[in-house]
Structure 1
Amino acid sequence: MIPKKLHFITGLKSDFGGKPFGFVHYMAIKSAMELNQGFQVYIYYKYEPSGPYWDLIRSRVTEVVVEPPESIFGNRIEHFAHKADILRLEILIREGGVYLDMDTICNQPFETVFNGKVVMGIEGFQLGYDRWNAGDRLGLCNALIITPAGAEFLTAFIHEGVSFNSSTISYAT
């Protein structure tokens, strides 16, 4: 079973990566909530968002203060976006549900694809193409992940698919 939970991550860096909580972030959360009635909504952060759009949505979500991961498998994680990559996988493995990036606007409900399996997008896909070209950059897109708790695929994805160099985290595809 995939639980009716929506997960969002923001504020892992004190300056919010130069993108303070604004209208797009508000709409990402609001669109997901409106289309998925009855879902619990969780916002994970180290540094609490602020501003008028945060004030509009705050009372409708569950706030979860987190400490971003500093390392994984003995490798230091430098960039806040990579910390969010690992944090989202840890949350989903533990909790299950739907993870959405803060700039993802929903236009369809999720329950239609709740089949007990992990759902992720394809990175690098371009609309209008009916086949892949040999030079296309392809991979999994973690901006939206739908999963049951404890999913074997995500556990393998984080434990076997993660590779590192001095400043990046990449995933084998």
Structure 2
Amino acid sequence: MKAMIARFTVLVTVSAMLAACNLRPLYANGTTGVVAQQLGNVEIEPIAGKAGWLTRNALKDQLEAFEGQQAKYRLIVALEDKIAGFGVRSDDRITRERRTLRARYQLVRLSDSAVVLDATAGSDAGIDVVSSEYATLAAEDTALENLATRVANQIVTRLSLFARNEGAVSPVP
């Protein structure tokens, strides 16, 4: 009985602490919220290469839900895509690769060309190198598609945090 009372007390205490921590949903008020309105005002510059095309499409897919009336910000993304072999057999054949996609991105306010956000995002994936060259190339392409989506997710999350903080300082008209 004492254990049950102790558990109940802990549950009530944790619930009270969680309620008091002032958690706020990032996308509060849906498409009419501050974050959605700010994200709807971002235009994405073209990004070079296949990785750039995949990343830009992933960014557009996520930001399309927040359509704004006119662009107030421009997102500039520079990617670095690397594949490095690190699993080596005794006959010097590579058995494992790591594909890394890193992005440096800047959010530029169009009204005065000021860089308001300068950050990086990145992810990596392991790839098995098998005897079939086609299978290895397919695995590398799949890894690139997944990495582009992950990097785009990181960028949109960071943009959302920026938009929430920017909206708290100066509300969007």
TM range (shorter): under 0.3
Relative CO higher for 1 or 2, CA cutoff 8 Å, sep ≥ 6?
1
Higher share in helix: 2
**TM-score after normalising by structure 1:** 0.26
Radius of gyration: which is bigger?
2
